[in-house]
Amino acid sequence: MTNYQVIIIGAGPAGIFAALTLIEAGVTDVAIFDQGKDITERERHVGRDLLMGWGGAGAFSDGKLTISSEVGGVLNEFLPGPELERLLLDADGIYCKFGAPDRMFGLSPEKAEDLARKARLAGMFYIPSRVRHIGTDNCYEVLKNMRRHLDGRLSVHVTSQVEKITTKDGRVTGISLADGREFGAEYVISAPGRSGADWMRKQAGQLHLSSATNAVDIGLRIETPAVLMENLTNEGYECKLVFHSPSFDDKVRTFCMNPYGEVVREEYGDIITVNGHSYAGHKTPNTNFALLVSSYFTHPFHEPIAYGQHIARLANMLGNGPIVQRLSDLLAGRRSTPSRISRCITHPTLSSATPGDLSFVLPYRFLKSILEMLEAMEGLTPDIFSHHTLLYGVEVKFYSNRIKLSPSLESEVQNLFVIGDGAGLTRGLLQASASGILAGRTILNMISNN
């Protein structure tokens, strides 16, 4: 059996930043395992490749680095605000070192306060933040630069599916793969990413780790002419808004705003959902963003991931993939047809979406909450609630159960760290990367004290 000092499960941003932290500090006996392909072998339009492999979902993401302790995850529950801000800036600096652009978006304090005032008048909260936009076309190159930088400095095992994390007497001992091979380690960092949320839930059960059911975010991706959103996106790039629906008091939030971008498909195994991208090198006439409803389930139900998968499969069954609908058709109680979509001034950027009726897919309270927020946004960006607005469904964000962790992200199993989206901690590129730095630094301290 091959032994390493540190094994990292998952080669997404969380795992990569943990590896960078360890390697740059002189730890050489490190291995990283991922069930996907190496980055140069991945293809953006292949479903499995889109989310798995070196770079994880981040490799083909929009590449937004949001510097705010209030969005992108819950690391603010583990670190004081100023300390988390410094950690996020450290992660941002590493992205810049490997090719992220210099420009930082963000409203001036005066404009941010004005937008916050308008949001309050419209019944919403505005969360100010600074954003560095790498772009879908550049994000792949940045993560490829990281791969090149680490080449030969650690062991990289791609197309290697980890079956389970092994332990003895409450201490981690390594991993075993689906093909039967076993690897030992003094420390293990589990960073399976969002696509590995269900895998992490099963591991937590097998290891008897304490955990709490996390939320599932279900909603729609909104597409509209970019000119309608310019007052929100030209300087700030992404507008983070939080709304509580009057009808159900459900939390609804904007997510992943893509000025001049495109709507894309995402595949989770046999499930097809939607997402959005924007590029540094070219623009479309449209802007898209998601409106997501966060739902927490209580006893006796404890399968939020399965619930989200069920909603996505229903959309796939009705639309043979994603569904697109004009807002006016939804409000009129009719399905969209190709001819109705063709008369819309918002030309759909996801041409493979099937015109249909999203009211057959989303539960009433989800759809009602989304429509109430979209109508409230008229107070910030007039004509967003118009019949030319397109709705795509569904968008689902799967998060693992919240694993009980120490402030340094160590689990109840000694020397086992769980980080990133797979730990149910992060929901954005920068916080996921920061969690990798935090785990890496903790292991460095533990090594130096041994």
25-35 pLDDT per residue, tens: 999 999 999 99
Query: To which residue do tokens 């097998």 refer?
Result: 206
CA dist., res. 42 & res. 17, Å (int): 20
The reply to whether the predicted model has a pTM over 0.85 is yes
End-to-end distance of the chain based on CA atoms, in angstroms?
24
At residue 23, the pLDDT reads 98
Q: Where in the chain is the domain with CATH 3.50.50.60?
A: 2-102+130-211+401-449
HSE-up (13 A, CA, CB side) for residue 66: 24
Which residues on neighbouring strands pair with residue 409, listed in sequence order? none
Task: Take residue 257 and report the two structure tokens written for it.
Answer: 């705003």
Query: For the chain, what is the radius of gyration of the CA atoms?
Result: 21
List Cβ neighbours of 26 (8 Å cut-off, separation of 6 or more): none
- Angle subtended at Cα 359 by Cα 356 and Cα 364, rounded to the nearest 5 degrees: 165
Mean pLDDT over 56-83 rounds to 90
pLDDT at residue 46 tops 70:
no
pLDDT at residue 45 tops 80:
no
CA dist., res. 171 & res. 177, Å (int): 19
At residue 424, the pLDDT reads 81
Task: Take residue 313 and report the two structure tokens written for it.
Answer: 């499969």
- pLDDT tens, residue by residue, 386-439: 989 999 999 998 776 788 999 999 999 999 999 998 778 898 899 999 999 999
Mean pLDDT over 78-90 rounds to 95
pLDDT at residue 301 tops 80:
no
CA dist., res. 263 & res. 266, Å (int): 10
- pLDDT tens, residue by residue, 34-43: 999 999 999 8
* DSSP three-state, residue 50: helix
CA dist., res. 218 & res. 372, Å (int): 15
CA dist., res. 398 & res. 164, Å (int): 21
User: Do 44 and 50 form a contact (C-beta atoms < 8 A)?
Assistant: yes
At residue 61, the pLDDT reads 85
Query: Higher model confidence: residue 13 or residue 297?
Result: 13
Task: Take residue 324 and report the two structure tokens written for it.
Answer: 């697109």
pLDDT at residue 269 tops 80:
no
pLDDT at residue 188 tops 90:
yes
At residue 196, the pLDDT reads 86
CA dist., res. 297 & res. 274, Å (int): 23
Across 98-112, 202-216, 337-351, least confident range: 202-216
Beta strand pairing call for 182-190 and 416-418:
parallel
**How far, CA to CA in Å, does 347 sit from each of 90, 178, 382?**
40, 45, 19
* DSSP three-state, residue 18: helix
pLDDT at residue 299 tops 80:
no
Across 10-24, 47-61, 144-158, 237-251, least confident range: 47-61
Amino acid found at 14: A
CA dist., res. 425 & res. 79, Å (int): 12
List Cβ neighbours of 147 (8 Å cut-off, separation of 6 or more): 38, 39, 40, 54, 55
Percentage of the chain lying above the pLDDT 70 cut: 99
At residue 297, the pLDDT reads 80
Nearest residue to 214 via CA among 71, 11, 52, 426: 426
State in words which class domain 2-102+130-211+401-449 has: alpha beta
- pLDDT tens, residue by residue, 337-355: 999 999 999 999 999 999 9
What average pLDDT does the chain have? 93
Helix axes 429-449, 13-24, angle to 10 degrees: 40
* DSSP three-state, residue 67: strand
Amino acid found at 226: A
pLDDT at residue 20 tops 90:
yes
- pLDDT tens, residue by residue, 108-117: 999 999 999 9
Mean pLDDT over 218-237 rounds to 95
At residue 300, the pLDDT reads 84
Band the pLDDT of 198: cuts 50, 70, 90: confident
